[in-house]
Structure 1
Amino acid sequence: MRSLLPLCSVGLVLALTACSTTEATDDYSSVPLTIWADEERAQAMRTFAEAFARDVNRRVEVIVVDNEELRASFLSAHSTGLGPDLLVGPHDWTGELASAGAIVPVGLEEDDAELFSPGALAAVSYDGRVHGVPYATENLALLRNTDLVPQTPDSLEAMVATGTELVDSGAVDQALSLQVGEEGDAYHIHPFFTSAGGYLFGEDPSGDPDPADLGVAAPESIAAFELLAELGEDGSGVLSRSTDATNATSLFASGAAPFLVSGPWSVAAVQEAGLPFAVDPVPSFAEGDPARPLIGVQSFFVASGASDPDLAEKLARVFLDDPELSVILYEADPRVPALDEALEMLTEQDPNLEAFQRAGEGGLPMPAIPEMEAVWSPFSQASADIIGGAEPAEALAEAERIIIEGFDEQDSGA
C-alpha cells in the first residue's frame, strides 16, 4: 500500500482546490477535475481530493450542491454539456442517471465484487454494467439501551412487549423510537413492512426490480399494513407520527425510548450523550418474513461529459488501491466502508461498523431503477396515514394510483 503524501490544511468552502499556496498551485494542470457533492459528502471529500491532486499533479475542486438539488442539477448540466467530472451520491440514482446517458461504466467487473461488502457492486449496476464505485454502505439497525434491555429481543413482538413494560413502569416515555412524521418515511418502515409480507417491486428474470410488478397495493402489502396498523395510533401506539427525523435519535439518546431504529448517522449523538448501547439487526415479526432494511451505497459516478474521462475514472477507483483513503472518508463522514479491507482496518477502532454490516445482511438494495423516484413520497404518505388511523387498502390504493401516474409522466418525458 502506498502512503499518503502530507496534506495541506484547507477550510470548507464551496470550491475546494488542491493546495493553498500559489507556488504549489502553479505546478498543477490549469484545468481542474471537478466533483459535485452535497455538503455532508463534500466534507468527506476534502482530504481525499487533496491527496489525489498531489498524486496526479492536477487540481481537484469539490463543488457543494444542495442535496435536494444535486441530482436534478447534474442531469440539467448534462443536458447542456456542462457539469462536473464526477458526482458523489447514493446508488439508487444509478438507473436514472445511466438511462439518461449522464454517467458511464467505470470498468469494474463481477469479479471485483469480492472486494466490497455483499451486494455493493450489484447496487451500482444497471443494464448489466457497473456504473459507480461504492465507497460506503448504510442500512438501518436496532440500537438498544443496554442498561434498560440487556438482552437482544428475538422478535418484534418481544421488543414491543419489553418496551411497553418499561413505559408502564415509568422508566421510559415510549416503547420504540422509529421516525414516521406527518409525511411518513418509506425507508424506515421498510424492514417492518417486508417482515409483515409486503413488497414494493417484484423481480424480473434477472433478479432486478420489476416496475411491471408494483406491490404497493398488492394483497400482501395491504395485509402487512393491517398488521402494522395495530402498532399505530389507533392500536398500541408504539408507532406514532409524532416521532420524526427531528426527534427520533434524541428520544433514544436521552433515555426516553429503549430502542431506536436508525442508521450509523445516529451513533455519534448517542455516544456523545454517554448512553450505553448495542447495535442489533432490526427484529422480525415472530411468524413473519425476515425484516429487510434497505441498503444504501454511497458511490462515485463518472460523468459522461467528463473533461478527462480516464483521470476521472482513476479518481473514482483510487481508493481500491489505497484503503487508507476509505479511512479518510470514514473519519470525515462515519459510514460503513464498502471496501472490505478498509472495514477490517476500522473495525477494531469502531466495532459498531461490523455490527451495522451484520444488520444489513439479507437487506434489499434500494431499487436503482428510475421508477423508484415516483414511489418514495406516495408510499411514505400512505404509511403515515395508516399509522395515523387510515384504512390500509384505501390509503395504499391511492398511493398506487399516484405512483402509476408518476410512471406515466416519466415515460412521456414530462
Structure 2
Amino acid sequence: MKRLSRPMEGPSSRPGTRLSMGSFRRFIILILASLLLAGCGKTIPKDTLVIWTAFQNEEFKALQAQVEAFQQKSNHKTIILQVPFNSLRQKILVAGPALQGPDVLIGPHDWVGLLQTAGLLAPIPKEVVDPKSGTFYEICTKAATFDGDIYLAPMMMECVVLARNTDICPEKPESLDELVEVAVAAKNKGGDIRGFAYELDNFYFSWAFMAGHGATFLDPFFNKDFQLDQLKFDTPEAVAGVNWIADLQRKHQLVAPGLTNDLAVDFFLNKKLGMMLCGPWNLGAIRQRGINYSLEPLPPGPKGPSTPFVGVTGAMLSKFSAQKDGTTELLTYLSSAEIGAQLCQSSGRAPVRKDTAELLKERVDDPRIAEDLALFSEAAQTGMPLPNNPAMQPVWDYMKPALELVIKGKISAEEALKETTETVRTKVRFMME
C-alpha cells in the first residue's frame, strides 16, 4: 500500500492529550503553500463537470462509458481525466485550492481524512448517501465517514482472502492453527513446494492475523474524540498476534526471509505455493494459469475473526464545487447500482450495495466468477475499513520495522510494540500541534 511520507521528528506525546484537527490543518496548509509555488495546470471550464480518477484499463473503459451515458441523459457536460495513482493525491492538494481541480475525485476512502482536514472536501449530500436508508453496506458508510460526516459516495470495495491451490492443499483450514498445520504438511511433502507465504512485515496484510488474536489497538482511530493515550499497541492480544506471524518464518519455516508479496504471488501462479493472501487484482492471472483454486475468508484466530483491511473506492466532492449545478446528480449516478455492477464486473471487486449484488447475480454467467464476487463481498462486509484518520500515517511508517525486527529475532514482540506505541504517539502529537 502506498502511504504518505514519514512525518518529521517531534516532541514526546503526553497522556491524555486530545488531538486538534485545527492544528493539523495548519500543518497541511504549510505543505500546500510550498506545493502551490510549483504552479498549476489549465483553467477548468466553469460549465463542465470534471472527474479525476486513477482507474486504468477495463475499469477506466467501463467508467468512461457510463460517464458518457450520464452526459447524454442529464445534459450536463462532463469529462473524465486519468491521473496516475501515485500523483493523484498530490495533484488534488495543489489544484483544489487553486480552483483548478476536479469537481469529483474518485479514489480510496482512506484519503478522506487528509483531504477533508486540508479543507478540500464537502460532505456528500444526504440524498446521495444516507446511512439510515440501508442502501449501502454498513462497512462502506463507516469507511466513508470522518469526524461525523460522510465524504465519499461508495462505488466498490476490496479486501484480501485466502487463495488455496486445491491440488497442493486439498483441506480447507478452519482456524489459524489449522492453516499452519495444512501449510506445514504441504511443505513436508518435499520438493520446492511451499505451503503458505506472504510479506510478513507488511502491516496491510498482517493486521488480520493480529485481529484474529484479539488485537483492537486501531479502534481509537475511528473515535471522533480521539486522544493520544488511547493508543496502545503492546497489548497481550497484539503481542500474541505478532508472535504468530513471526513463527511462520522462525518456527515453522514457511516463509523465506525477505519474501515479498509479489514473489509469493509468483510462486502461487507457478504452482509452487499452496496458499496465499489474494485480492481481486490477482484473480485474472490465477484463472489464466488454469490453477485449481478455492477462495475462502481468512480462517479465524483463537480470539475471533481474522478481519482483513477493507478499502472502499468512491466519489469525493470538492469543497469548491459543492454548489455547482449537477454535482449531486453526478454523485448519485456514480454510486448507483448500475455503475457499481459495471465496475465490479470489469475489476472483480466487491459490490457496496445490496441491489448491485443482485444485479451481478443476474448478469454474471460464469459460475466461478459469480462465486468469487460473492466471496469477496462476504469477506469485505466482515472486515475492518482502513482507518481514514490522518493520524494513522505513523502507524504505517513504524509497524513495518517493528514487525521486521521481531521476525528477525532482534527484539521481542512486547518490546517492539511498546516502542511503536511511544514513537507513534510522538509523531502524531507533532502532526497535531
TM-score (norm 2): 0.79
CA contact (8 A) 2:349 2:376 kept: no
Aligned position for 1:296 = 311
Aligned position for 1:76 = 94
Question: Which of the residues 344, 356, 371 maps onto 2:358?
Answer: 344
1:52 aligns with 2:74: no
Amino acid of the residue matched to residue 112 of structure 2? T
1:117 aligns with 2:137: yes
Aligned position for 1:25 = none
1:400 Cα shift?
A: 3.3
- For residues 98-247 of structure 1, the aligned pairs below 5 Å read 98-107=116-125, 108-112=129-133, 114-170=134-190, 173-180=193-200, 184-203=201-220, 212-232=229-249, 234-247=250-263
Structure 1's 87 and 210: CA in aligned 2 closer, same or farther, altered over 3 A? farther
Root-mean-square deviation (CA, aligned residues, Å) is 2.6
1:241 Cα shift?
A: 4.5
Structure 1's 69 and 208: CA in aligned 2 closer, same or farther, altered over 3 A? farther
Structure 1's 355 and 247: CA in aligned 2 closer, same or farther, altered over 3 A? same
1:403 aligns with 2:424: yes
Question: Which of the residues 83, 107, 122 maps onto 1:89?
Answer: 107
1:225 Cα shift?
A: 1.5
Structure 1's 98 and 400: CA in aligned 2 closer, same or farther, altered over 3 A? same
Question: Which of the residues 391, 395, 405 maps onto 1:375?
Answer: 395
Query: What is the CA deviation profile of residues 316-371 of structure 1, one whole-angstrom value per residue up to 9, with x for unaligned ones?
Result: 211455x2222222233221121221122224622211111222343111112111
Amino acid of the residue matched to residue 253 of structure 1? L
Amino acid of the residue matched to residue 239 of structure 2? I
Aligned position for 2:48 = 32
Q: Using CA pairs under 8 Å that are at least 6 residues apart, name the structure with larger relative contact order, 1 or 2.
A: 2
Amino acid of the residue matched to residue 196 of structure 1? H
Aligned position for 1:252 = 268
CA contact (8 A) 2:187 2:194 kept: yes
1:142 Cα shift?
A: 0.8
CA contact (8 A) 1:326 1:342 kept: yes
Structure 1's 400 and 241: CA in aligned 2 closer, same or farther, altered over 3 A? farther
More displaced stretch, 122-131 vs 30-39: 30-39
CA distance in 2, matches of 1:318, 1:328: 12
Structure 1's 240 and 289: CA in aligned 2 closer, same or farther, altered over 3 A? farther
SS of the aligned residue for 1:367 comes to: coil
Question: Which of the residues 60, 84, 87 maps onto 1:66?
Answer: 84
More displaced stretch, 94-103 vs 261-270: 94-103
SS of the aligned residue for 2:167 comes to: coil
Aligned position for 1:315 = 330
Aligned position for 1:276 = 292
1:169 Cα shift?
A: 0.9
CA contact (8 A) 1:302 1:309 kept: no
Aligned position for 1:22 = none
SS of the aligned residue for 1:274 comes to: coil
Q: Alignment length, in residue pairs? A: 378
CA distance in 2, matches of 1:131, 1:157: 40
Question: Which of the residues 325, 328, 334 maps onto 2:342?
Answer: 328
CA distance in 2, matches of 1:253, 1:211: 44
CA distance in 1, matches of 2:130, 2:338: 23
Structure 1's 46 and 171: CA in aligned 2 closer, same or farther, altered over 3 A? farther
Structure 1's 63 and 204: CA in aligned 2 closer, same or farther, altered over 3 A? closer
Structure 1: stretches of 5+ with no match in the other structure: 1-14, 16-28
CA distance in 2, matches of 1:169, 1:35: 53
SS of the aligned residue for 1:260 comes to: strand
Higher-helix-fraction structure: 2
Aligned position for 2:21 = none
Amino acid of the residue matched to residue 313 of structure 1? T
CA distance in 2, matches of 1:402, 1:205: 20
TM-score (norm 1): 0.83
Structure 1's 116 and 228: CA in aligned 2 closer, same or farther, altered over 3 A? same
CA distance in 1, matches of 2:96, 2:46: 22
More displaced stretch, 62-71 vs 139-148: 62-71
Amino acid of the residue matched to residue 409 of structure 2? G
CA contact (8 A) 1:166 1:172 kept: no
CA distance in 2, matches of 1:345, 1:39: 22
Structure 1's 259 and 208: CA in aligned 2 closer, same or farther, altered over 3 A? farther
CA distance in 2, matches of 1:246, 1:326: 28
More displaced stretch, 213-222 vs 356-365: 213-222
CA distance in 1, matches of 2:343, 2:381: 23
Amino acid of the residue matched to residue 31 of structure 1? D
Query: What is the CA deviation profile of residues 252-286 of structure 1, one whole-angstrom value per residue up to 9, with x for unaligned ones?
Result: 2221111111211111111111111111110123x
Amino acid of the residue matched to residue 94 of structure 1? V
SS of the aligned residue for 1:83 comes to: coil
CA distance in 2, matches of 1:199, 1:339: 27
Structure 1's 209 and 387: CA in aligned 2 closer, same or farther, altered over 3 A? farther
SS of the aligned residue for 1:169 comes to: coil
Structure 2: stretches of 5+ with no match in the other structure: 1-40, 365-369
CA contact (8 A) 2:220 2:231 kept: no
